[in-house]
C-alpha cells in the first residue's frame, strides 16, 4: 500500500515562528502536494511539486514556501507563522500526469497562538 | 477557472436511509471527476471516480454518474450504515493535469 506520512499530527506554534511541516511518501511518486483544509472551504492547494527541486504555486501560496530536495520528501515552510495559518494541512502524492490516484497523509493540525 | 460546488452539510440520516450528495462543477474541456471520503481522524481516501461523460463510478455501495450535460457528479448510496459517517469531497482534475480542485466537503452523520 502507498503510504504518505506527515511528521506530526498536532502542532502548536507561536506567532512569528518559522514552522516546518514534513511529508514523506514511499511509492516513488512524481507529484506531491500540500493542501490546507478549512471548514466550508474544502481543500485548497498551497503548492505542488512534479519533480525534485521543481515546484509550482497553487491557489493560496502567500505566506508559504516549499522544498523538495529528494523525491520522497516534500516540506511546507511557514516563514513567519500567523494566526490565520491555523488550519489542517494535508499532504498528498500521485504517480504522474493524467488519470492517477492521489494518496493523502493523515494531516497535521497546526495551531498558531 | 475550475471550481466544484457541493451541498453544504451536515446531512443527518438514519441507518438504511438513502443518501444523495449533490456536486456540480465548472471546467473547460473534459475533466476527470472524483469523490473522496475522510473518516474521523484520517486523511482523504479515494471513494470512486469517472473519467468521461456517462461513466459511472462505484465502490462500497456508493455510485456517481458523470453527467456532462448538467455538469454534475452526484453521489448516492441506497442504504447507509453508521460506518458511512464521514466528510465527503467532490473533486475534479482537468484533462492531462495533475492537480485536484475540491468542493467544500459535506459532513454526513448516520444515526443508528
Q: CA–CA separation, A93 vs B36, rounded Å?
A: 14
Q: CA–CA separation, A60 vs A85, rounded Å?
A: 11
Residue A4: closest C-alpha in chain B: B43
pLDDT surpasses 70 at B106: yes
Q: What pLDDT is recorded for position B108? A: 97
Identify which of A48, A105, A106 has the shortest CB distance to residue B99: A48
pLDDT tens-digit readout, A21-55: 999 999 899 999 999 999 888 899 999 999 998 99
pLDDT tens-digit readout, B14-57: 999 999 999 999 998 889 999 999 998 888 999 999 999 999 99
Return the closest-CA partner of residue B77 out of B16, B18, B36, B24. B18
Identify which of A41, A90, A97 has the shortest CB distance to residue B44: A90
Interface residue A48 vs chain B (CB under 8 A): yes
All three cell numbers of B38, joined, read: 475522510
| Cβ contacts of A100 on chain B, cutoff 8 Å | 98
Average pLDDT of chain B is: 93
Q: CA–CA separation, B56 vs B49, rounded Å?
A: 8
Q: CA–CA separation, A104 vs B31, rounded Å?
A: 21
Q: What pLDDT is recorded for position A98? A: 62
| Cβ contacts of A92 on chain B, cutoff 8 Å | 44, 100
CB A65 within 8 Å of CB A52: no
Amino acid at each position: 500500500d502507498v503510504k504518505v506520512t506527515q511528521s506530526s499530527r498536532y502542532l502548536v506554534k507561536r506567532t512569528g515562528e518559522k514552522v516546518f511541516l514534513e511529508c514523506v511518501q514511499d511509492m516513488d511518486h512524481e507529484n506531491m502536494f500540500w493542501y490546507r483544509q478549512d471548514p466550508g472551504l474544502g481543500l485548497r492547494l498551497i503548492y505542488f511539486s512534479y519533480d525534485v527541486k521543481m515546484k509550482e504555486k497553487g491557489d493560496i501560496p502567500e505566506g508559504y514556501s516549499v522544498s523538495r530536495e529528494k523525491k520522497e520528501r516534500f516540506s511546507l515552510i511557514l516563514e513567519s507563522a500567523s494566526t490565520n495559518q491555523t488550519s489542517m494541512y494535508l499532504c498528498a502524492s500521485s504517480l504522474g500526469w493524467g488519470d492517477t490516484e492521489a494518496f493523502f497523509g493523515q494531516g497535521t493540525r497546526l495551531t498558531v497562538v | 477557472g475550475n471550481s466544484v460546488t457541493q451541498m453544504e452539510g451536515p446531512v443527518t440520516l438514519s441507518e438504511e436511509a438513502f443518501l444523495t450528495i449533490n456536486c456540480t462543477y465548472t471546467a473547460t474541456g473534459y475533466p476527470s471527476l472524483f469523490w473522496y471520503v475522510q473518516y474521523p481522524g484520517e486523511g482523504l481516501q479515494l471513494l470512486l471516480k469517472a473519467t468521461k461523460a456517462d461513466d459511472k463510478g462505484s465502490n462500497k455501495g456508493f455510485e456517481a454518474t458523470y453527467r456532462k450535460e448538467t455538469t454534475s457528479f452526484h453521489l448516492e448510496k441506497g442504504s447507509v450504515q453508521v460506518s458511512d459517517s464521514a466528510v465527503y469531497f467532490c473533486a475534479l482534475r482537468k484533462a492531462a493535469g495533475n492537480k485536484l480542485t475540491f468542493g467544500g466537503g459535506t459532513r454526513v452523520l448516520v444515526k443508528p
